[in-house]
Amino acid sequence: MSDESGLGITNFLDIDDLDAAGVEQVLDRAEALKSGADQTQLSQKTLGMLFEKPSTRTRISFETGMTKLGGHAIFLGPEDIQLGHGEPLKDTARAASRYVDGIMARLFSHEDIETIAEYSDVPVINGLTDDAHPCQTLADLLTIREHFDDDVNVAWVGDGNNVGQSFAIGCALAGIDLSIATPPAYTMDETVIERAKELGGDFTVTTDPKAAIEDVDVVYTDVWVSMGQENQREEKLAAFDGFQLNEELLAGTDAKVMHCLPAHRGEEITDAVVESDRAIVWDQAENRLHAQNALLVELLGQ
């Protein structure tokens, strides 16, 4: 296992692998890199990217980021390697870490990325699992920092999924008050809420989206039917009736709207809202690049 980085961590599997100071350190560096600071800090470094799930933003942002930082990224999709099938995960991790300086993995099982991290000799970054999406949270917090002062109130409306769970913990670390509105059957994992509360998170939890967005600065949503849940589609669409971010729900508020993308327009959010001036989703998408670049420099640049 490699030595700890300047952040005090070796791997980045969950957002609360960082403490509050670590989150601020990454966001400060992200702002500096976005503003034009030295972008060649990972010269001759290589990032191995393991993908079980396809992605637009994750692949483009990490691959472009490594190029901008003077390094190189290798994309390894499901057809390129046999994650846990033809070869045990621990063997993939041990072999890959002899070649590359860091591993980013986008997987289904969170236990799988923990196994990769256990057997890797280089830093491992979670590019998404079914339980967590910490890189998205860094981009979200950077976006909120750019648009608002310190006193910010945010609402999460929709599925209590991996993006929402990481974001809830991230809000606790960043000192952001969060209201959470989900249908009763699709709440966030109670252990996640407890972790966030232990970090000082201030939460309001409800099943009423209208109540959740009252007096907030930002309303954040994500897809209701995530990748791999297609067989639950009809059931989930019925359960989320009334949770769509549309002009009617948002009437009377000036809140900005966030979405990690891709958006299923007409389901969790309308086309009119995505294309409105209140949407800051494209800033979020761009900030995946800058936040991850900062993380890469902190983890691989030591």
Annotated binding site for L-ornithine: 162, 222, 226-227
Q: Of these residues, 133, 195, 259, 290, which one is catalytic?
A: 133
Which one, of 137, 131, 96, 95, lies nearest residue 114 by Cα? 131
- The one catalytic residue among 260, 284, 290, 292: 260
Residues 61, 292: contact at Cβ < 8 Å?
Answer: yes
The first and second tokens of residue 240, run together, are 């989320």
Instruction: Using alpha carbons only, give the angle 53, 56, 59 rounded to the nearest 5 degrees.
Output: 75
Q: What contacts 23, CB < 8 A, 6 or more positions away?
A: 15, 138, 141, 170, 173, 174
Catalytic residue among 29, 195, 288, 290: 288
Which residues on adjacent β-strands are paired with residue 177? 153
CA-based R_g, the chain, Å: 19
End-to-end CA distance of the chain: 14
Structure-token pair, residue 108: 């289904």
Residue 136 is among the residues annotated as catalytic for this protein: yes
Judge whether 288 counts as a catalytic residue: yes
Active-site residue, selected from the candidate residues 136, 165, 244, 292? 136
Which one of the listed residues 171, 222, 290, 292 is annotated catalytic? 222
Q: Is 222 a catalytic residue?
A: yes
Separation of CA 150 from chain center: 21
Instruction: Determine whether 263 is exposed, middle or buried from the number of CB atoms within 10 Å of its CB (0-12, 13-18, 19+).
Output: buried
The amino acid sitting at 265 is R
Annotated binding site: 55-58, 82, 106, 133-136, 162, 222, 226-227, 260-261, 288
| Catalytic residue list contains 283 | no
Tally of CB atoms within 10 A around 225: 19
Angle between helices 20-34 and 162-174 (to 10 degrees): 100
Beta-carbon contacts of 20 under 8 Å, excluding residues fewer than 6 positions away, are 173, 174, 175, 199
Asked if 133 is an active-site residue, the reply is yes
> Which residues are annotated as catalytic?
106, 133, 136, 222, 260, 288
